[in-house]
Structure 1
Amino acid sequence: MTLELASDKIQNHVQKMGSFQIRALAVLMAMSFLNTPVVVLCSVFVLYTPSHRCYVPSIDDQNLSTSALGGKQSSSSINSNDFASVSNSSILYQHIPTEPGPDGNLRWSQCHIYVKGDNSSVSNRSQTTCVEGWVFDIDNHVFSAAMEFSLVCDQAYMAPLAPSLSMFGYMVGAMAGGYVSDRFGRQFTQLSTCLAVTLLTIILAFLPVWYAAYFLWFAMGCVVTSREISMMSLVNETTPSRYRHLVGTMIMLSAALGYMAVPGFSYIFPNWRHVLAVYGGLEVIVLLMTFFFVHESLSWLMQKNKAKKAKKLLLVMSKVNNFAIENTEILLKKNDTEEQDTSENKKTEENLSYSDLLTISFLRKRWAIFAIGWFAVTLAYYGLSLNTNNIGGNRYLANFIGAATELPGTLVCFLTMKKLGGRRSFMFTTGFSSVCLLITPLLEFGGKWFTITSTMLGKLLISGSLANLYIFTGELFPTLLRTQALGGCTFLARIAGILAPFMVFIGEELNPHIPYIVPGLVGLVATAAMFFLPETKFQPLPDTIEDAQNQERNSIRLSCAKKTVNNRSNENEDVLKPVLEIPNVETQSKKETCFE
């Protein structure tokens, strides 16, 4: 038994894009803007490790302003020429050995110093570790956590451990967040995760010891991905069908803009504590906006049979959108026509779970296909990101350009989804991207610009595929399983994210073409698998399992209708929409046939 809207008038108003929907979506866009910086800040800027050498008290005490950190000395400023070149006349030769750098040029040893008091020749002197601490080559007054807590040399492994744990947090949060959102509601998940992200960011900004950071970054990954997948479900359920792809694209564009803003914030606030404090302050603002402007999903309330809350939400919506409701008693009605049907596709229990994705046959097929798609796209996305050489020597510019490639990819996603629909849009972007990756090794004979162009085109298109999946996945699952389906797919996607660095490493060791060939082939498999899903263009978002199953039939109807109007100009949407508004008839055969 489920609730339904009682009048066509109310249904029409709910399906309009009024002030109620616009202000909620504005808050969700702000939330999306702040989601990406969490991991990017951690791996790129908070844990940035510049060139360094051992601290020499007899020399550096005269030239550097220092502060005692954990019993060691770390500099806050230094002449970068001491790192850019090794001068034969430098007095540091008496204290610090030299070693070849990544570019083949000599540099000061980053982890060793000559034993004090050893007066033998330089070539025969004994070496020891940096017992007095380190001096860092600093630009723009940068002060990172790696510098403050001396996460270098024998403790260098402690720096990349934080973003790795954050990625594992993404996996856990994808599963837990999907369950919490479908069980306790979208609004509860948004408020609780916003509060958690705010507290975690502020605590990290004032962290006294680094060991506690590992738990905090893991927890951050959990709550960020929970907020992300719940937000996409709320976007799908709050937005009228005709605007769903546009709004979903705007959410993804907000994430890309947030990614692009990270280098700017990090440049303005070079101290890692300051930039985290700024993001924590922004999260406080978003938390307050979420509390006042983001309400529960009406679809979720109706599927949960929460009549009182649904009526209250409708009254709030009517007040904000300025449409009158005369009688609150006829806002909702109960639909109990399904109570006698006990088949697996008519399951009406309120507490659906992950197990239903596996036990209901057509949902199992859909989830398996989407799992392949998410895995393939994530493997290609992170593989290309990790396998692309840094752009120049400016890390701020490099990260900005890398983030900027997300924008055209997201726009391609919107245009193709509007024109082709979710399924064919994915097949177009993923298939074309896979071809670009597979031909990249063949283009080496033409020079590096051919390979760079092919790789960047593949990255652009795969970014569009990723944006597509966030929107399209939610369109094929019922309300009470929507977020859990997204969570399960995101979980598998994070496995691909963990495997991507190893794929790049194997490519460096065995064959440089592996990072192109493997994701290219997997992408083609995902493209072929997506063919077996129904199209969602012009179809409403499914509320129940029955609605989701009827998408198969409606997809066939859509194909039939398109054949009948193929020669009519400027009438496609007007002709196709009524086809999908025909009530579902249980006795109608699932194997409908098109006749021209």
Structure 2
Amino acid sequence: MADSTQLLSQDNSAKSGSTQPPDQKHLPSLDSRIERFIGDFGWAQFLQAVLVSIAWIFDGQQTFISVFTDARPTWHCTDQLGDESSSSCDAVSDICRLPRNSWAWDWPAHTSIISEWSLECAASIVTGLPASSFFMGCLVGGLVLATLADSSLGRKNMLFLTCLTMSLSSLLTVFSINIWIYSALRFVCGFFRSTIGTCSLVLATEIVGKRWRGQVGVMGFFCFTIGFLSLPAVAYMNIGLSWRYLYLYTSIPGIIYSVLVRLFVHESPRWLFVRGREEEAMATLKSIANNSNLTWSFSGLSLFEQETGNDNIFSSMKILLEKRWALRRLSAIMVMGFGMGMVYYGMPLGLGDLAFNLYLSVTFNALSELPSSLVTFFLVGKLNRKSSIIVFTSLSGVCCIMCGLKGEEWRRLQIGVELVSFFSACTATNILFIFTIELFPTLVRNSAMSMVRQALVLGGVFSPMLVAVGRGDGFSPYMVFGLVIGCCGLFAICLPETRGRALCDTMEEEERNEKATCNGVGDV
């Protein structure tokens, strides 16, 4: 059967008396050919998506592990100095104002880095250094590694290498002897962790058709929630034991998983096609797709002008920044990501300051990600990206500000409004990731996703310091979190709506969609 789109294009060219170049004929895109070949969602695609999404579990564990390892332990007064001194001790809430022998930790000193290394009276910049070092490592790693998955390494190899090195650096953290070495290893861990979620999300969504793209993307969010939720369980079983065991329990499974990725995960067929590796792409599609008519589906692929670019690791970033429309989109989503990152990473770090049990607080926050993922999973096909982000960021901002209000009546409501705020921030972040995938073509998609995640992490860099300062002088970081996420969410107004739109693979294809949308024609 002839391709009607090609025939129509040829007929129009004949009538106009001119010959258009291939990229102007509006031939079937790579996306439409892959969609036609992949068919319905099958077991092979499901298993690949699940295996790739599991990486988010280890991502979530390393992101929030410092909530327990770096926690300030509870303490009690001793009666070694007599009843009078003991009464004086009970009236003081700051242990730095008490003699060292008048109080003691409730648990052994090795349960937290604060008690093991006697950091209870250290400056907030010192106690917040490990967490900030981790997020700073994420920021630097994202900038350095962002384009490797789009250029030379590909999605699969990048996922394997970053997950393996993150887990190995986490394992080495067990041998830290002071906060400086500990902070340096947390920086290394964050550096390699920076692109794990990005590679996992992009790879999972590129092996399925657009009908299941949103649902498959949400699988990663579920796995991240599982990783987050596993931490209070592991930490509770580890009560009284060294904080080093938490790193041991989370790093070894990550190393084993990395080997499984290397052996069983397939590379993205879209990336292989865009890089000109057609034989490998077709072999991958044969192994994961339901349609066996591969030769027919891709017989005209040579007519599709591929943009392989060059092999420079920053080539995709250069392509991304050269286009005004792409730069405008990237700037807007990075601003939104920064605001969401301050809340998403900052609120769990500040749970110790709420009048509520730390283990239950972390558990409730992790559980709130489940309904967030469910909302995204079931409604992603119906939710407009722009309006949803504005609504959820505004709700999160208002609840954040309510968390910072003083007074006994507000303290009773703190955990409730904190959970609503965190749920809203999680949902907005989930939608932002799906939105980013739809805004950028295959050639630069992973780089764009990496930049968005770096914006999230940049918000996380400031969060530990704000939380640490708030512990010392009563300053509430929640007020800042609320104002920032509420204002940043409004930048969604600057972006085009992408719900129900097909994925583009080249910058030219995306530009045609951009021009058609601006002219009121719709997607090409």
TM-score class, shorter: 0.7 to 0.9
Which residue is equivalent to 2:53?
Answer: 29
Cα distance, 1:204 vs structure 2: 2.4
Could you report, residue by residue, the CA deviation over 1:394-429 in whole angstroms, capped at 9, with x for unpaired residues? 432222122222222333334443222322321222
Please list every run of 5 or more consecutive structure 2 residues that lacks an aligned counterpart in the other structure. 1-21
User: In structure 1, what is the equivalent of residue 3 of structure 2?
Assistant: none
Q: Which of 157, 165, 170 is residue 196 of structure 1 equivalent to?
A: 165
The answer for the alignment partner of 1:303 in structure 2 is 274
Query: Quick one: distance in 1 between partners of 2:30 and 2:119?
Result: 63
Q: Higher helix share goes to which structure?
A: 2
Match of 2:15 in 1: none
Residue of structure 2 equivalent to 1:364: 327
Answer yes or no: is 1:312 the counterpart of 2:262. Answer: no
Q: 1:509, 1:208 → 2: CA distance? A: 26
Task: Report 1:566-585 matches (<5 A).
Answer: 584=524
Cα distance in 2, alignment partners of residues 7 and 260 from structure 1: 36
Aligned counterparts of 1:103 and 1:472: Cα–Cα separation in 2: 53
Contact 1:5 1:332 in 2 (8 A): no
Distance 2:347 2:185 in 1: 28
* Structure 2 counterpart of 1:104: 92
1:395 pairs with 2:395: no
Code of the residue aligned with 1:316 in structure 2: it is: S
Aligned to 1:533: 495
The structure-2 alpha-carbon separation of the partners of 1:223 and 1:161, relative to structure 1 and needing over 3 Å to count, comes to: same
CA distance in 2, matches of 1:532, 1:157: 37
Sequence identity percentage: 23
Report the AA paired with residue 294 of structure 1.
V
Residue in structure 2 matching 1:12, options 36, 56, 64: 36
Deviation at 1:504, TM superposition (A): 5.8
Alignment of structure 1 residues 134-533 onto 2, 5 Å: 136-138=105-107, 143-151=111-119, 153=121, 159-183=127-151, 184-207=153-176, 211-269=180-238, 270-317=241-288, 323-325=291-293, 333-335=301-303, 349-350=309-310, 352-382=315-345, 384-385=347-348, 390=353, 394-437=357-400, 453-501=416-464, 515-516=478-479, 518-533=480-495
Distance 1:456 1:143, change over 3 A: closer
State the SS of the aligned residue for 2:248: helix
Deviations 1:345-404 (A, max 9, x none): xx7635533233332111011011112211222234345445656455643222212222
Structure 1 residues 552 and 329: CA distance shift in structure 2, 3 A: closer
In the other structure, the counterpart of 1:344 is none
1:167–1:218 CA contact under 8 A, matched in 2: yes
Hey, what's the Cα distance between the residues in 1 that align with 2:156 and 2:514?
30
Higher CA-based Rg: 1
What secondary structure is seen at the aligned counterpart in 2 of 1:84? Answer: strand
1:547 equivalent to 2:509? Answer yes
* TM-score (norm: length of structure 1): 0.71
The 8 Å contact of residues 100 and 106 in structure 1, kept in 2 or not, is answered as no
Q: Partners of 2:71 and 2:117 in 1: how far apart?
A: 12
CA 11–245 in structure 1, closer or farther in 2 if over 3 Å, else same? closer
Contact 2:67 2:349 (8 Å CA) reproduced: no
Deviation at 1:150, TM superposition (A): 4.9
What's the secondary structure of 2:302's corresponding residue? strand
Say which SS state the counterpart of residue 54 (structure 2) adopts: helix
TM-score (norm 2): 0.80
Q: What is the alpha-carbon root mean square deviation over aligned residues?
A: 4.1
- Say which SS state the counterpart of residue 301 (structure 2) adopts: strand
Structure 1: gaps (5+ residues): 52-82, 115-133, 339-346, 561-578, 585-596
Q: Please give the per-residue CA displacement for 1:37-64, whole angstroms capped at 9, x wherever unaligned.
A: 11322x222334535xxxxxxxxxxxxx
In structure 1, the partner of 2:76 is: 84
Q: Which moved more, 1:451-460 or 1:474-483?
A: 451-460
Change (3 A) 1:49 1:525: closer
Distance 1:292 1:374, change over 3 A: same
Which among 57, 60, 69 is matched to residue 46 of structure 1?
69
Of the two structures, which has the highest relative contact order with CA contacts closer than 8 Å and spacing of 6 or more?
A: 2
